Each structure stands twice: as structure tokens, then as C-alpha cells.
């Protein structure tokens, strides 16, 4: 099905209706087939793709809600709640502790990945992500370790790390804001600690 849709994407690009063959993945099956047989709701597929791409980007950039929260009375601005719950830059020094999921320690550079479809790890790097799911499996291939902001002992990040035998720490709040691609850290999957040894150059 993927090959079929990409082929349709090529034809829609040739017809000037899409800018890139992979834009088909921003359309529903019904919208894509409708574009072929002329029954689509809108003829402006590029605008629809731009709208969906913007929604995806906003979703990736949205902060995760706290694990637990309660409200009373007026509506609460969740973004403000999340921001106040995250450590300020530099807070808690150069070491933080999350949930240990797979024993072992490794010292290496990290790479913060937000979108597994467009970003990849270099061999030996430590993966840093908000969370992972089965769509991230190709990113894990080069990982020397895994750090995730969310998760539990039975989360996807933890299970795959144990299968691969690489150190893993999850539930490390604010990890993708605290660490930057190129930082060198010591990850200990036995006690759940992550220590930044050196910041990225530049």
C-alpha cells in the first residue's frame, strides 16, 4: 500500500497538485483516492497538506501534560502548568535522575530526535526523545542508550532497550529541553542517572 500511495504521489506531483510525493502521508485514504477519481472535497491539495503539516509540527512542539493534575473552578492553561513543572535550564546541576529501565552505563554524545521520519542517529549516539512508539524502531538501530521524557518499565522505549541490551532511563522530565544534540553524557541504566559531562560545541 505504501508503494501504491507513493506512486500516486508521484503522479500528483507531475500534475502539479502536490509539491512532494511524500505529501500523500498528510492526506487520508479517502482524500487521496478522491483526488484520483475527482470526488475529493477540495481541489487544493497543497493547501490541505500545508494545514496538516502545520498541525503535525504544532503537535510535536506541544509540551506533555504532567503525569497527574487536578483542577477546580475556572479552566486551567495546561501549557502554563507544564512549563511551571519543568526544571528551569541548569536547575538541578548537571545530573538528573529518571526511572532506570535497563542496566548498564555508557558515555557518549546524545541526539535529540523529535521526528523519527526525518531524523536518525549516528552509530554510538544516545537517543533522547519525549517518547517513542513502534514507528521509532529504525532510530533505535544505532542507539548506544535511550533517554525518554515519558514512559514506564513497560513503555516502548524500555522494552526495546532491554531487547537490544542498551542502557535506558525513562520518565526524565524535561530531557529534550535540558540536553542538546552533541552534548556528552554518562547514562546509567542501573540507577537512572544521567550526567552531562560536556556541552555541545558552539
**Marked catalytic residue, from 156, 174, 183, 194:** 156
CB 126 within 8 A of CB 185: yes
Rounded to an integer, what distance in angstroms lies between the CA atom of residue 71 and that of residue 199?
39
Helix (H) or strand (E) holding 92: none
- Check residue 131 and report its DSSP letter: -
Between CA 10 and CA 24 the distance in angstroms is: 9
Strand partners, 198: 184
Kindly give the pairing relationship between strand 105-112 and strand 126-129: parallel
139: part of which helix (H) or strand (E)?
A: helix 137-140
Nearest to 67 by CA among 173, 148, 140, 165: 173
**Cell matching residue 100:** 532506570
Residue 69: partners with Cβ closer than 8 Å, 6 or more residues away: 76, 81
- 131 classed as catalytic: no
What are the residue numbers of the active site?
Answer: 156
Amino acid at each position: 500500500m505504501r508503494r501504491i500511495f507513493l506512486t500516486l504521489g508521484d503522479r500528483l506531483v507531475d500534475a502539479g497538485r502536490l509539491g512532494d510525493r511524500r505529501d500523500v502521508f498528510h492526506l487520508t485514504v479517502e482524500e487521496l483516492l478522491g483526488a484520483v477519481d475527482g470526488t475529493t472535497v477540495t481541489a487544493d491539495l497543497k493547501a490541505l497538506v500545508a494545514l496538516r503539516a502545520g498541525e503535525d509540527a504544532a503537535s510535536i512542539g506541544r509540551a506533555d501534560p504532567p503525569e497527574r493534575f487536578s483542577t477546580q473552578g475556572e479552566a486551567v492553561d495546561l501549557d502554563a502548568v507544564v512549563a511551571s513543572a519543568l526544571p528551569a535550564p541548569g536547575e538541578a546541576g548537571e545530573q538528573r535522575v529518571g526511572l532506570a529501565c535497563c542496566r548498564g552505563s555508557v558515555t557518549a554524545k546524545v541526539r535529540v530526535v523529535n521526528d523519527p521520519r526525518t531524523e536518525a542517529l549516528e552509530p554510538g549516539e544516545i537517543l533522547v526523545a519525549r517518547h517513542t512508539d513502534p514507528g521509532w524502531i529504525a532510530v533505535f538501530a544505532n542507539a548506544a542508550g535511550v533517554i525518554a521524557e515519558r514512559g514506564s518499565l513497560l513503555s516502548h522505549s524500555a522494552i526495546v532497550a532491554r531487547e537490544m541490551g542498551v542502557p535506558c532511563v525513562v520518565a526524565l522530565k524535561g530531557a529534550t529541553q535540558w540536553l542538546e544534540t552533541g552534548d556528552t553524557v554518562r547514562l546509567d541504566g542501573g540507577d537512572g542517572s544521567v550526567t552531562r559531562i560536556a556541552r555541545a560545541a558552539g
